[in-house]
Structure 1
Amino acid sequence: MSSLKLSANYDFSENPIPHGTLNGVAVPFFATPEFRQELTEKFKLRPESDVFIVTYPKSGTTWMQNIVRTMLMSDDTPENAQLKLDDRVPYTDMSLNFPFDKIEGWPNPRAFKSHHATPSEMDKLIFKGDRSAKIIYVMRDPRDVSVSLYHHLKKTGLSKFVEEATFDEFHKQYMRNSDVVYYGLWEKHVDSWLSKRTEFNMLVIRYEDMIENSSREIEKVAKFLGAHLPSSRIEEIAELTSFSTVMHKGGLLKDESGVTNSILRKGVAGDWKNHFQDKEEAAKMAKIAEELYIKYNLITPNLE
């Protein structure tokens, strides 16, 4: 049996990338049903102050985690201030190190990151019907998502398939295979969350807008979170959380294990143009994204 199979209670496969299947959706191998049951039983929501950063993987999650942490936790205790980003803004599907023993003692506000496939799943696990907690949903061009996840997984050593696959092979055989891609197809994840944005306390942010004008988007986040900040502080947060600053700052991510290099790569929009050999596939993905933007009355970005 594979050492990565952490539960007897999910369908597990190492192909093409190690994953389990829960509720009909592929999830990382560490997202076990036992952990989700533990989360349901142990996580005590603070709806008036908890913040959840929800994304499809590789959509700007780390950037938004850093923004929220910098904005809301500037007066952290020395103990919490020295924590890595994923330890201070933990991942609600990461069974390997979720800090149940610590989060109960954390002051308000707390922040968490999630990739859960649907709001109803997250409601069942965490919200339990109280939908007043703040959710920041970050979305990104699916073509850049595919490129970013390709490079991320290539460096993890989890899969011979990814190590050997060309980008086009990865995109078509993994990203567009609903049975194996983590958290399902991009468009299903986005559609699922945006369809409930008025039922939950949700702010929608686009990665491309953050690239275009990070200060403007950070100001939106601040207003949503009730943080009344002067423009000088908004600009400071934009600088402190910029890609160039983070890449030269030690201790933010788990760089001692090499994770930084797989999580942060370029921090740009449009890198898909350097990877998609199949231009028809790129155009198809742009069409899928455009239809969702139109459906939810979002300003359509330049998807050429």
Structure 2
Amino acid sequence: MEPAEKYLFTYKGFYFQPDMASAEYLDTLEDFEIRDSDVFLVTYPKSGTIWTQNILSLIYHEGHRDGTEKVDLLDRVPWLEYNIRNADYISRPSPRLFASHLPYYLAPKGLRNRRAKVVYVARNPKDVMVSFYHFSKMAVKFEEVEDFGIFMERFLAGKVLASSWLDHVEGWYTHKDDFNILFLTYEEMKKDLKSSVLKLCNFLGKRLTEKEVDAVVDQATFNKMKADPRANYEFMPLDILDHSKGPFLRKGTVGDWKNMMTVAQSERFDSVFKKRMEKLPFKFCWDINEES
């Protein structure tokens, strides 16, 4: 059941990728200097991270919105714990945007002064798990688990990158008063993207014209993103993602778990997750055609 050390290592009870982060680097993040203007996008993997990275980039960068700049998402909204391009985050001009899968207890201490902003996006965990399973096939540095049933048991036990989905969502929500945080769900973004963009703008204090908001919404649709080389992660090197195994942006739907999970697997999943999920404030939508 335990993932091989070649693929994951544990740091303070949380799983990371060994060749993309180190304990020494993670140690430095506790005292990472936070600016009041910083924005952190926090998610559990496969919860709409790239989508929201793109939306934040479109909101903040007019050049991204009007197509005059070709800066990709990894430079626009880089990963805090996975500094893939060895960027100098300290001298980066404000406002700085970061993406992260960190649990609440590993977030930089400075975020707890509640001035910098945190956007947390959650997604229903069955779709997260199915997306994670497909992603593991193209992620070169991931352990490929062919058998979906085995992958599901690892996911339920939190023996995957970023550990337990329940712990991650629960942790950030339970400690929400420690942070200046906005919670969104992937499903509400799918149902009404414009409302979600306006909610983000309001939280971030960004005043966009109606025309600019419409441009953000238009360019943040799944098909537009999938075709946008700045946003579709095709710029990731081949030693990280094997693009021949499929697109990074696969379907972007709600309810795809029904195409993968058997009734027995769904019931097994519910038996592990349901009790704790019922205590969460989010009403997760399990199928875009049904109300949550």
* 1:181 corresponds to: 160
Measured in 2, the distance between the counterparts of 1:184 and 1:226 equals 33
Output the aligned Cα RMSD. 2.7
Measured in 2, the distance between the counterparts of 1:20 and 1:245 equals 36
Is the partner of 1:295 in helix, strand or coil? coil
Measured in 2, the distance between the counterparts of 1:146 and 1:98 equals 30
Measured in 2, the distance between the counterparts of 1:24 and 1:239 equals 40
Deviation (angstroms), 1:159 = 4.8
Aligned residues: 277
Q: 1:282 aligns with which of 256, 266, 279?
A: 266
Measured in 2, the distance between the counterparts of 1:176 and 1:296 equals 17
Deviation (angstroms), 1:116 = 0.6
Q: Deviations over 1:171-225 (max 9, x none)?
A: 12x21233x3112211111000011122210000000111111111111111000
Confirm whether residue 109 of structure 1 aligns to residue 95 of structure 2.
yes
Q: 1:134 aligns with which of 109, 112, 117?
A: 117
Gaps of 5+ in 2: none
- Contact persistence 2:130–2:257 (CA under 8 A): yes
Distance 1:111 1:243, change over 3 A: same
Gaps of 5+ in 1: 1-12
Confirm whether residue 15 of structure 1 aligns to residue 1 of structure 2.
no
- Which deviates more, 284-293 or 216-225? 284-293
Instruction: Note the 1:15-54 alignment, pairs <5 A.
Output: 15=4, 18-29=7-18, 30-40=20-30, 43-47=32-36, 49-54=37-42
Is the partner of 2:107 in helix, strand or coil? helix
Deviation (angstroms), 1:291 = 5.1
* 2:138 corresponds to: 155
Measured in 2, the distance between the counterparts of 1:235 and 1:291 equals 40
Measured in 2, the distance between the counterparts of 1:18 and 1:239 equals 37
Is the partner of 1:263 in helix, strand or coil? coil
TM-score normalised per structure 2 = 0.84
Distance 1:196 1:95, change over 3 A: same
Confirm whether residue 123 of structure 1 aligns to residue 118 of structure 2.
no
- Which deviates more, 219-228 or 15-24? 15-24
Confirm whether residue 169 of structure 1 aligns to residue 154 of structure 2.
no
Measured in 2, the distance between the counterparts of 1:104 and 1:147 equals 36
* 2:185 corresponds to: 206
- Contact persistence 2:234–2:248 (CA under 8 A): no
Matched letter for residue 187 of structure 2: E
Deviation (angstroms), 1:228 = 2.0
Confirm whether residue 240 of structure 1 aligns to residue 223 of structure 2.
no
Measured in 1, the distance between the counterparts of 2:206 and 2:83 equals 31
* 1:146 corresponds to: 129
Q: Deviations over 1:24-74 (max 9, x none)?
A: 222222231111134446x43112x10000000010000000000110121
Deviation (angstroms), 1:14 = 6.1
Measured in 2, the distance between the counterparts of 1:288 and 1:149 equals 18
